[in-house]
């Protein structure tokens, strides 16, 4: 399951998920004389889908491929078996933000979800793949607006979105123009992260800052597991017609999805 990157993992997560191979210099050599004449070798056909090496999780569908790449960006304490990042210097249990910090987190989250739900996933989206996700059940705008209004009743003023949030939204807009399929990686990671690690963080903040008050941001109208299963099926169906190259380009966005979402989450990563 996708999850938000902790601050310690941000630097690593902003690196590409698939680093370029290293090139090793070779020593010059002499061509021996009087060797038998060799026939020129002709390259064979490119590997077919049946002979090339499968990506991890590929046999289960594209969602499983994205999940596998995302899990590598978890810290070892978050995912002991699959996590590859070192634990954060400020673990989540040590986060003690103020109510104003939590408000900023909600406002920044709203900025990102507003892009996803009003610009990207719309019935008349020019990119048909995103119109498939209209009314999917994961929408967060009404819940966030409700919670921001609740904080106002506690005397917490509503700030403007931070540069981190607006920068992420602009990155998504630019990416949509160049590689629309790759935006699906960000959409998947942002929503699925909130349903997993995001809920755990939310429970901690609710108990620590608000006496156990339950925020709408961490609730769904129906069983969220059922919603996620439905959305997984749509993603797998959408990606089933993509080429391997398009899928790999999408997977490469995972590290940036973690990095950008982590900059929003940093609103909460405050020491006591």
State pLDDT tens for residues 3-20: 455 544 554 444 444 443
Helix intervals (H) in the chain = 10-13, 62-71, 99-115, 128-131, 141-153, 163-178, 180-193, 199-210, 224-239, 244-252, 254-265
Of residues 214 and 36, more confidence is placed in 214
Q: What is the mean pLDDT of residues 53-61?
A: 76
* pLDDT surpassing 90 at residue 49: no
Residue tagged 């990102």 (tokens): 112
pTM value is 0.80
* Sequence spans of domains, the chain: 7-11+56-265
Q: For residue 249, how many other CB atoms are within 10 A of its CB?
A: 17
How much of the chain exceeds pLDDT 90, in percent?
69
* Cα–Cα distance, 197 to 80 (Å, whole number): 15
CATH code for the part of the protein at 7-11+56-265: 1.20.910.10
Any idea of the CA torsion for 208, 210, 213, 216, to the nearest 10 degrees? -90
């Amino acid at each position: 399951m996708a999850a938000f990157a902790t601050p310690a993992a941000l630097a690593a997560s902003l690196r590409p998920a698939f680093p370029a191979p290293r090139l090793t210099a070779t020593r010059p050599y002499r061509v021996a004389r009087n060797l038998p004449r060799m026939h020129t070798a002709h390259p064979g056909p490119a590997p077919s889908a049946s002979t090339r090496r499968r990506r991890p999780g590929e046999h289960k569908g594209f969602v499983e491929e994205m999940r596998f790449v995302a899990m590598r960006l978890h810290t070892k304490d978050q995912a002991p078996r699959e996590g590859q990042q070192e634990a954060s210097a400020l673990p989540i249990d040590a986060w003690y933000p103020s109510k104003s910090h939590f408000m900023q987190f909600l406002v920044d989250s709203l900025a990102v979800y507003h892009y996803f739900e009003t610009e990207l996933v719309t019935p008349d989206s020019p990119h048909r793949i995103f119109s498939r996700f209209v009314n999917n059940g994961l929408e967060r705008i009404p819940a966030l607006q409700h919670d921001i209004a609740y904080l106002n009743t506690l005397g917490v003023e509503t700030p403007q979105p931070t540069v981190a949030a607006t920068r992420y939204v602009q990155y998504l807009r630019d990416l949509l123009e160049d590689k629309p399929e790759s935006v699906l990686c960000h959409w998947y990671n942002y929503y699925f992260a909130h349903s997993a690690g995001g809920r755990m963080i939310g429970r901690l903040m609710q108990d620590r800052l608000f006496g156990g008050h339950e925020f709408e941001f961490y609730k769904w109208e129906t069983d969220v597991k059922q919603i996620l299963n439905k959305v997984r099926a749509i993603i797998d169906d959408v990606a089933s017609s993509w080429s391997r190259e398009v899928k790999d380009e999408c997977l490469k966005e995972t590290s940036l999805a973690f990095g950008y979402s982590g900059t929003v989450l940093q609103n909460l990563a405050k020491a006591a």
